[in-house]
């Protein structure tokens, strides 16, 4: 007869043997459960989180006060115009860069902004307009890059009424004047003055100057009476270009019209 102690010893051994026999089956069942969803459907394997998109370093457009003002008198074929020089420059740490590509549906050169992270990686930007060929200048302009306004003013200098406007002024973006050497990442301009459609831009510390003699560097003042006015130049007027702030995108100069002459005066 088998002793009670022998039975007690044999039982755990048998149970351990059964457990070891069953364990591979349990492991397989556990693996199968991991591959099956909670309601019997296929499970979804956990995916590693995508790395965060790099943060762009933004440009910051500013405008120097309009300069070199003069009047072109009216003629039988032209209006009386107030001419001036405009300089839009990049005071931010980031590049202002735009690239054009032909839209197959319209044939237009659609322009998108390209941003860069601190370590130089490209960060895709949004569409900011189109490149239009300006035959008077002989090259491509980014449409609607600037707006020029002429206002009547109150005795304290407050703007009262908009009396003349040049709404959508196109620019070829380029580095053609160095304004802040400390901001410039290079003494050599990054964006040349060839005004091609593949890439244009303004580097930190550089400006883009449009002289008064050029086409569209004016507002029509035919019929305006003599008096004090404010000339306002605005960059990125629609706010479509991503930049550090839109609060410093305009500049103003006060002037007095007297017949076919103009003179700049101090702000009230």
Residue 159 pairs in a beta bridge with: 153
91 pLDDT band, cuts 50/70/90, is: very high
Identify each DSSP E strand in the chain by its residue range: 56-57, 61-63, 67-72, 81-90, 96-102, 109-117, 122-134, 139-153, 159-171, 177-178, 200-202, 206-210, 218-220, 227-235, 250-258, 261-265
- Does residue 11 carry a pLDDT above 70? no
Side-chain half-sphere CA neighbours of 12 within 13 A: 4
The DSSP secondary structure of 162-216, one letter per residue, reads: EEEEEEEEEE-----EE--TTT-S-SS-SS-TT--SS-EEE-TTEEEEE-TTSTT
Q: Mean pLDDT lowest for which of 72-76, 136-140, 167-171, 216-220?
A: 136-140
pLDDT reported for residue 132: 86
Domain-wise residue ranges, the chain: 1-43, 57-265
Please report, for residues 32, 147, 172, 252, the alpha-carbon distance to residue 88 in angstroms, rounded to integers and kept in the order given.
Answer: 65, 11, 11, 13
At 171-219, the pLDDT tens digits run 999 999 999 999 998 888 999 887 776 899 999 999 999 999 998 899 9
At 105-147, the pLDDT tens digits run 888 889 999 999 999 999 989 999 999 876 565 578 899 999 9
d(CA 111, CA 197): 9
Q: Which residue has the tokens 């300089």?
A: 87
Beta strand 122-134 with 218-220: parallel, antiparallel or unpaired?
unpaired
The two three-digit tokens of residue 238, written as one number: 């629609």
d(CA 244, CA 235): 13
Q: Phi, psi (5° rounding) for residue 148?
A: -120, 135
Give the mean pLDDT of the chain. 85
């Amino acid at each position: 007869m088998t002793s009670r102690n022998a039975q007690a010893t044999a039982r755990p051994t048998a149970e351990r043997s059964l457990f070891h026999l069953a364990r591979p089956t349990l492991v397989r069942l556990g693996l199968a459960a991991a591959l099956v969803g909670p309601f019997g459907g296929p499970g979804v394997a956990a995916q590693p989180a995508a790395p965060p998109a790099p943060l762009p370093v933004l440009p910051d457009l500013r405008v120097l006060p309009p300069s070199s003002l003069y009047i072109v008198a009216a003629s039988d074929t032209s209006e009386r115009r107030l001419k001036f020089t405009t300089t839009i420059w990049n005071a931010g740490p980031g590049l202002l860069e735009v690239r054009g590509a032909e839209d197959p549906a319209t044939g237009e050169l659609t322009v998108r902004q390209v941003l860069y992270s601190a370590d130089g990686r490209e960060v895709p930007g949004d569409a900011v307009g189109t490149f239009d060929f300006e035959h008077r200048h002989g090259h491509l302009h980014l449409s609607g890059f600037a707006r020029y306004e002429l206002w009547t003013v109150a005795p304290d200098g407050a703007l009262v009424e908009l009396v003349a406007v040049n709404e959508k002024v196109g620019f070829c973006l380029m580095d053609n004047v160095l304004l802040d050497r400390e901001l410039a990442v290079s003494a050599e301009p990054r964006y040349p003055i060839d005004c091609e459609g593949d890439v244009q831009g303004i580097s930190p510390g550089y400006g883009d100057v449009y002289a008064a003699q050029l086409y569209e560097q004016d507002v029509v003042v035919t019929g305006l009476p003599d008096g004090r006015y404010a000339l306002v130049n605005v960059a990125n007027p629609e706010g479509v270009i991503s930049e550090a702030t839109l609060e410093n995108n305009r500049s103003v100069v006060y002037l007095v019209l007297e017949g076919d002459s103009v003179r700049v005066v101090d702000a009230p």
